[in-house]
Amino acid sequence: MFILNRVLFVGGIIAPQTASLPVMHFFACPCLISPKRNSPYSSVDSERYSSLVKAVMSSRVSSQTPETLQAEDEHIYGPVVKAQMPTHTERRVPKTTHPFFDYERTPEIEEPEPETPVRIPLNRGQGRSSVPSVTRVLQQTLSPEQIFYLERWKRRMISELGEEGFKEYSRNIFRQGKHFHSALEDYMTSAATAPSETPEYPPEVQGYMESISHILEDVGAVRAIESTVQHETLNYLGIVDCVARYRGVLCVIDWKTSEKPKPFLSNTYDNPVQVAAYAGALNNDKNYKYQVENGLIVVAYKDGSPAHAHQLNSELMSEYWRAWLLRLEDFTEQK
């Protein structure tokens, strides 16, 4: 029984096409005998086959539900890390509802726009080594579902590419993301210092830059690039990609590369939480004299197709800020 389940499981998950082959043959054979002569079912013991159909279909269906997959996975790989379900966390309220803004500060509108963007480098040496980063907190507080689907995806990829192939693939997508970010950094810096000059991009990022060209037209007054932000009371830090005006609105902008299209905000997973975390840190970091209440997630594509831009207004940002506070709470409780 276990072996049978395994076969179906492996087929359903790792290689759905191969899994459906035996089933297809099974059904196809009677039909292929003589599709134009008598009824394809006339020579078939339908009673007998219908029970088989039911048996096969029911086991196929059940083998592909997340619950069964998870049970199978736990059987083989051990239980996944336990954490609260997202349905619960959505209803949860942060224990300390720390404000997103520092209301004692001057509104950003009164602050003069700087001529060149700020870039505060990360300085881990100065008593910051114990301060957790946004990425670390998000990674260590993933929901069981997220962990499950990520692990499943990873296993699928390894089964296709092999261990080494998967490592190579991961290195590549990280490298592309990094190159895209440094190309953007060059673009922003040169746009501020020498607006007439258009920097040359390495071939690897040309598609991405083309993808975001229509977004860049609406980006201006860049205030910060790749700059460290640290929340003074909540004690976490991160590096914001960019703080600039998008269509006149001051935003924390997060640039992303993606192989799959991400036309909806929900396709970006934890990205909105990440952006809210950065904005909240910036709003409570004395190195920045202004407040940012909006966010923007830009997803760029390598083939140059138009990037998707997801705007986060102040209402959404406050919502994701609460989600961030919960993640931060979970992280602290884990320790």
Residues belonging to the active site: 241, 254, 256
- Distance separating alpha carbons of residues 223 and 249, to the nearest angstrom: 12
67 lies in the site for DNA, by CB under 7 A: yes
136 lies in the site for DNA, by CB under 7 A: yes
139 lies in the site for DNA, by CB under 7 A: yes
Q: Which stretch binds DNA (CB under 7 A): 102-110, 185-193, 237-245, 321-329?
A: 237-245
198 lies in the site for DNA, by CB under 7 A: no
- Enumerate the H helices of 64-202 as residue ranges: 66-77, 86-91, 134-140, 144-193
Interface with DNA (CB under 7 A), residue total 50
Cα 237 from chain centroid (whole Å): 19
- Distance separating alpha carbons of residues 101 and 236, to the nearest angstrom: 16
250 lies in the site for DNA, by CB under 7 A: no
**Contact mark string toward DNA, 141..170, x via CB under 7 A:** ----xx--xx-xxx---------------x
Nearest to 208 by CA among 246, 181, 227, 185: 181
133 lies in the site for DNA, by CB under 7 A: yes
Binder among 257, 284, 291, 294 for DNA (CB under 7 A): 257
Residue 52, C-beta contacts closer than 8 angstroms, at least 6 positions apart: none
260 lies in the site for DNA, by CB under 7 A: yes
Cα 9 from chain centroid (whole Å): 26
For the chain, how long is the longest CA-to-CA vector? Answer: 85
- Distance separating alpha carbons of residues 105 and 212, to the nearest angstrom: 33
Residue ranges that bind DNA, judged by CB under 7 A:
16, 60-61, 64-67, 122, 124, 129, 131-136, 139, 145-146, 149-150, 152-154, 170, 173-175, 177-178, 180-181, 237-239, 241, 254-260, 262, 266-270, 274
